[in-house]
């Protein structure tokens, strides 16, 4: 609203003074004009300074100074392009004219020139009329080319927006000008600064420079560009160490700020500086820094990236590396030939050309030269070296206007409508939708009025004492990608501008302060990795992978378990097979000598329970080897627990039998005899273990598991489900073993020939030692060890071999090597001698034993039926002094019968 109010105020003021006519073009305002059917305006900062602004006391004439040859060529590009159109068939029957004014790089002069453009068309006194509705208002010009600086374009665009007079800038790139609500009639042949600032940030990222400084002019262009760059840099993790704004007004304040900025640059550790400043400010700044031998990397915006005034500074090569962004340029047909004729054929109404001729005549040469206070020598440059990329933007602006006029005037190849009294807004509408082909492709304006042309990236290179601009890359606006030549990329990557060194893969950043670009690099721990430079954190490897300390990748874990081919597995298998072979041999031997005392002493019929149960125990020991599957995990523990309990139950019966056989207290003997039920004992004791294992499998079944918490490997093992149930199962077997041990220990004084108790005691002692050792190892050994299952397998094998060695090998030894001892008579005689020594059974043995009697005498089991009563009866017969031989024979016969019965009972 404010620009509109300003415009209305100006218009009303003009109306109140009776529509006062504008002044004729004064000598102090350099301009160029040519008549035509349609007039196109132009605004160019041909001079760089407006004099004595600070001393103005009244609104008098304005004076410009410091002629700019490069900008003069911009204006000539407009004139040349219009002349080419007039000499072509693009607008048949239509002559284009122009009015070009020098803005002197100041908003005040630009506004003064703009008021001439908006004066009414064909008005003899060039008056500005005030209307409530400007739909049918016909101003002096149909379109305006310019200005150059964004600050000037913003001010002019706000005024022209009231009339919707199209304005096409060839260099103003401020992002705010894309706001169509504020600048509805503004168009431009260059991208907006948002693209440039993003491209600068991407360039820094490409070279890994994340610690920079930034300088800008304190105007609309500089402030917007600086803010945009800082925003883009933050998103790409690029930190700005300092940023400074240089005033554009007030020489004292400006120079003081430039000096302060130079001090800050010298103190900063940032080696890259982004500059959005005006050329005059850069010249002053660089002069100071060159004197102080300061070398940096400079990133130049389009406002000075190919500025010859800056390039002509003495010893400019000492300032460091300069990279610049320039607008995409092209060739203007016959432009160089046109420029060569300027000094010989100046137009009468072209004051710009006259000023140019005075400029080159002052230098004393017929070629264009640079003459500025920062250079002590003048060097002749060709036009190719002076023409800037923005010159091509002027040519594109004229071409766009011509293509829009073709639509407005309904032009054909032969003629156009000659009705030139159309309002500018009609031309604006056509401009927004027109397109045409150039050497680089299709040209058109987007919905924001911007061009999609990209940027060339150049570097300054000193060749033969003069700066040359060498293209090293470009930026594509459409896909937002930067492309840098390999040669320059390799050179630039050596340059360093970081607050901290780069954290390599395998490291992560640790912030030292709030500034994200200043950090330390910490090595990733084992199990973590980082695969990119400057990673903010180390990522954790998946459960199936592992990594070493400081790793940039994760490696797949190796699957481990106790394999069949492992050495320890082979040893266990050999022992298991050997045990199986031994058991088969024992069964064969015992079957052959089944009725002998040695076999009966070893257990008799119970041997056919004990030996198969040991076979199942061997099978369970083997199941701890190989890849654990669910079915293996389920059956291996219960198989061992039940089979070994069955074996120990038989040993328990044997221990019970020994105590019963050699117990002569009548009361105890009767009680023990009533409790001695071999089959029920075996069934009940084994059934309890079956119940324990059944509850275990019912409530918390074992299953195969994968332990992924171990570095470098995935360990396949069995999860026992409930370790409480596992402990109860083993504890129950241990309890039975303890009972066996106690019973056997009590019977350790039995006759030597009948002393199974000693072997049972030893075997149970071995079993308890083995499984206590296993418990200690099991608790302390890491479950993550793949040899963890070996401990239980060894314990099982050791328990089985202890039973084989203590229970069956002695019987086998007697059967094979002491056959004379494997007779019932020897067992009975040995028992009688033992009883006589103990004074417990001393009946004399009559030598009238028949062979049939001896054949019926056996082993300790024969003595079970000898009760206390028989002992007392035998003692009574002895006290009668053996008066009756028949009675003595009967007593001897009764004794033998008792011995046989005790043997049979076991």
The answer to whether the CB of 225 falls within 8 A of the CB of 245 is no
Q: Residue 160 has what pLDDT? A: 93
Of how many residues is the chain composed?
A: 906
CB hemisphere CA count around 103 (13 angstroms): 27
Contacts of 111 (CB under 8 A, 6+ apart): 155, 156, 159
What is residue 752's DSSP assignment? G
DSSP string of 241-259, one letter each residue:
EEEEEE-SS-HHHHHHHHH
Q: Residue 437 has what pLDDT? A: 87
Phi-psi region of 338 (alpha: psi -120 to 50; beta: other; left: phi over 0): alpha
Q: What is the distance between the alpha carbons of residues 198 and 232, in angstroms, rounded to a whole number?
A: 6
Q: What is the distance between the alpha carbons of residues 628 and 633, in angstroms, rounded to a whole number?
A: 6
Is the bond preceding 812 in cis, omega lying within 30 degrees of 0?
Answer: no
What is residue 369's DSSP assignment? B
The answer to whether the CB of 256 falls within 8 A of the CB of 285 is no
Q: What is the distance between the alpha carbons of residues 662 and 749, in angstroms, rounded to a whole number?
A: 9
The answer to whether the CB of 720 falls within 8 A of the CB of 729 is no
Q: What is the distance between the alpha carbons of residues 128 and 13, in angstroms, rounded to a whole number?
A: 10
Distance between first and last Cα of the chain: 121
Inter-CA distances, 148 with 144, 153, 168, 215, 444, Å? 12, 7, 10, 20, 20
Contacts of 115 (CB under 8 A, 6+ apart): 10, 22, 128
Q: Residue 365 has what pLDDT? A: 47
Single out the residue of 151, 173, 144 nearest to residue 326, CA to CA. Answer: 173
Q: Where are the beta strands (DSSP E) in 137-210?
A: 143-145, 167-169, 186-188
Q: Residue 593 has what pLDDT? A: 86
The answer to whether the CB of 397 falls within 8 A of the CB of 170 is yes
Q: What is the distance between the alpha carbons of residues 151 and 845, in angstroms, rounded to a whole number?
A: 141
What is residue 804's DSSP assignment? I
Backbone angles phi, psi at 217, to 5 degrees: -75, 145
- 445 has which bridge partners? 451
Q: What is the distance between the alpha carbons of residues 191 and 182, in angstroms, rounded to a whole number?
A: 18
The answer to whether the CB of 76 falls within 8 A of the CB of 339 is yes
The answer to whether the CB of 422 falls within 8 A of the CB of 164 is no
Q: Residue 499 has what pLDDT? A: 83
Inter-CA distances, 689 with 614, 695, 727, 794, Å? 16, 10, 12, 22
Q: What is the distance between the alpha carbons of residues 570 and 563, in angstroms, rounded to a whole number?
A: 9
Contacts of 616 (CB under 8 A, 6+ apart): 639, 640, 642, 643
Cα radius of gyration (the chain): 56
The answer to whether the CB of 332 falls within 8 A of the CB of 390 is no
Q: Residue 26 has what pLDDT? A: 47
Q: What is the pLDDT of residues 559-599, one digit of tens each?
A: 888 889 888 999 999 999 999 999 999 999 988 888 787 88
What is residue 541's DSSP assignment? P
Strand 38-44 to 64-67 pairing: unpaired
Distance of alpha carbon 713 from the chain centroid: 23
Q: What is the distance between the alpha carbons of residues 511 and 518, in angstroms, rounded to a whole number?
A: 6
Q: Residue 187 has what pLDDT? A: 95
List per-block mean pLDDT (blocks of 10 residues) for the chain, which spans 906 residues. Answer: 42 39 48 90 88 77 81 89 92 93 89 87 67 86 90 92 93 87 92 90 90 90 90 90 88 90 93 91 93 93 86 91 88 83 59 74 53 41 59 91 94 89 93 87 88 88 88 88 86 78 88 78 92 88 89 90 89 93 92 83 84 92 90 91 91 77 61 76 91 91 85 85 89 88 69 62 84 83 75 90 86 82 63 55 40 33 38 40 44 48 44
The answer to whether the CB of 683 falls within 8 A of the CB of 610 is no
DSSP string of 216-233, one letter each residue:
EESSHHHHHHHHHHHHHH
């Amino acid at each position: 609203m404010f620009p509109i109010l300003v415009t209305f105020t100006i218009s009303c003021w003009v109306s109140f003074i009776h529509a006062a006519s504008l002044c004729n073009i004064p000598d102090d305002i350099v301009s160029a004009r040519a008549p035509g059917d349609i007039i196109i305006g132009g605004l160019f900062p041909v001079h760089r300074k407006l004099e004595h602004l600070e001393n103005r006391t009244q609104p008098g004439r304005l004076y410009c100074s410091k002629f700019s040859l490069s900008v003069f060529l911009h204006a000539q590009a407009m004139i040349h392009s219009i002349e080419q159109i007039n000499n072509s068939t693009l607008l048949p029957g239509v002559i284009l004219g122009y009015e070009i004014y020098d803005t002197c790089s100041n908003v005040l002069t630009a506004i003064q020139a703009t008021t001439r453009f908006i004066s009414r068309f064909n008005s003899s006194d060039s008056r500005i009329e005030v209307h409530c509705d400007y739909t049918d208002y016909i101003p002096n010009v149909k379109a305006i080319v310019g200005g150059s600086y964004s600050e000037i374009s913003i001010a002019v665009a706000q005024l022209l927006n009231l009339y919707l007079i199209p304005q096409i800038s060839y260099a103003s790139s401020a992002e705010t000008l894309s706001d169509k609500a504020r600048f509805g009639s503004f168009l431009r042949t260059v991208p907006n600064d948002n693209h440039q600032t993003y491209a600068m940030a991407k360039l820094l990222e490409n070279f890994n420079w994340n610690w920079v400084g930034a300088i800008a002019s304190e105007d609309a262009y500089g402030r917007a560009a600086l803010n945009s760059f800082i925003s883009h840099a933050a998103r790409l993790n690029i930190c700005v160490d300092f940023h400074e704004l240089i005033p554009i007004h007030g020489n004292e304040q400006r120079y003081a700020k430039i000096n302060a900025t130079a001090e800050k640059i010298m103190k900063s550790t940032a080696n890259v500086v982004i500059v959005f400043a005006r050329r005059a400010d850069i010249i002053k700044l660089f002069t100071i820094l060159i004197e102080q031998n300061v070398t940096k990397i400079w990133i130049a915006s389009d406002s000075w990236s190919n500025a010859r005034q800056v390039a002509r500074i003495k010893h400019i090569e000492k300032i460091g590396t300069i990279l610049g962004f320039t607008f995409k340029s092209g060739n203007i047909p016959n432009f160089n030939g046109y420029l060569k004729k300027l000094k010989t054929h100046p137009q009468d109404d072209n004051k710009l050309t006259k000023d140019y001729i005075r400029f080159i005549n002052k230098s004393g040469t017929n070629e264009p030269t640079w003459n500025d206070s920062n250079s002590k020598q003048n060097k002749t440059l060709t036009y190719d070296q002076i023409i800037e990329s923005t010159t091509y933007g002027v040519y594109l602006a004229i071409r766009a206007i011509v293509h829009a006029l073709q639509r407005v005037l309904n032009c054909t190849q032969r003629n156009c409508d000659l009705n030139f009294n159309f309002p500018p807004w009609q031309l604006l509408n056509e401009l927004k939708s027109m397109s045409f082909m150039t050497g680089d492709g299709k040209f058109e304006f987007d919905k924001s009025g911007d061009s999609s042309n990209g940027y060339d990236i150049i570097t300054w290179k000193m060749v033969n004492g003069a700066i040359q601009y060498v293209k090293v890359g470009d930026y594509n606006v459409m896909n937002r990608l930067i492309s840098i030549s390999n040669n320059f990329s390799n050179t630039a990557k050596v340059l360093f501008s970081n607050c901290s060194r780069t954290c390599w893969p395998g490291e992560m950043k640790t912030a030292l302060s709030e500034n994200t670009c200043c950090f330390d690099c910490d090595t990733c721990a084992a199990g973590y990795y980082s695969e990119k430079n400057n990673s903010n954190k180390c990522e954790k490897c998946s459960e199936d992978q592992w990594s070493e300390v400081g790793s940039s990748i994760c490696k797949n874990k190796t699957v481990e378990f106790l394999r069949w081919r492992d050495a320890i597995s082979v040893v266990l298998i050999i022992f298991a097979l050997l045990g199986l072979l031994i058991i088969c041999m024992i069964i064969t031997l015992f079957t052959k000598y089944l009725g002998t005392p040695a076999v009966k002493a070893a257990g008799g019929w119970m041997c056919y329970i004990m030996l198969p149960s040991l076979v199942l125990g061997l099978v369970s020991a083997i199941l701890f080897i190989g890849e654990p599957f669910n079915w293996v995990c389920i059956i291996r523990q219960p198989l061992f627990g039940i089979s070994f309990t069955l074996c120990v139950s038989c040993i328990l019966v044997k221990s019970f039998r020994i105590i019963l056989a050699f117990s002569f207290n009548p009361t105890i003997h009767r009680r023990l005899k009533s409790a001695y039920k071999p089959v029920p004992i075996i069934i009940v004791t084994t059934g309890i273990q079956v119940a324990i294992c059944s509850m275990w499998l019912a409530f918390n079944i074992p299953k195969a598991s994968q332990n992924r918490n171990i570095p470098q490997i995935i360990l396949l093992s069995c999860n026992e489900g409930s370790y409480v149930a596992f402990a109860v199962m083993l504890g129950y077997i241990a309890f039975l073993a303890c009972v066996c041990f106690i019973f056997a220990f009590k019977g350790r004084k039995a006759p030597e020939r009948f002393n199974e108790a000693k072997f049972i005691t030893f075997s149970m002692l071995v079993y308890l030692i083995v499984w206590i050792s296993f418990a200690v190892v099991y608790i302390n050994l890491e479950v993550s060890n793949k040899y963890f299952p070996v401990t239980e397998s060894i314990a099982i094998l050791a328990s089985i071999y202890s039973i084989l060695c203590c229970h069956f090998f002695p019987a086998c030894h007697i059967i094979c090597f002491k056959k004379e001892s494997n007779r019932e008579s020897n067992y009975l005689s040995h028992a009688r001698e033992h009883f006589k020594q103990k004074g417990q059974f001393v009946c004399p043995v009559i030598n009238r034993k028949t062979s049939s009697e001896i054949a019926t005498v056996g082993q300790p089991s024969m003595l079970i039926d000898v009760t206390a009563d028989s002992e007392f009866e035998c003692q009574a017969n002895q006290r009668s002094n053996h008066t009756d031989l028949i009675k003595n024979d009967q007593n001897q016969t009764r004794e033998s019968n008792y011995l046989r019965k005790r043997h049979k009972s076991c």
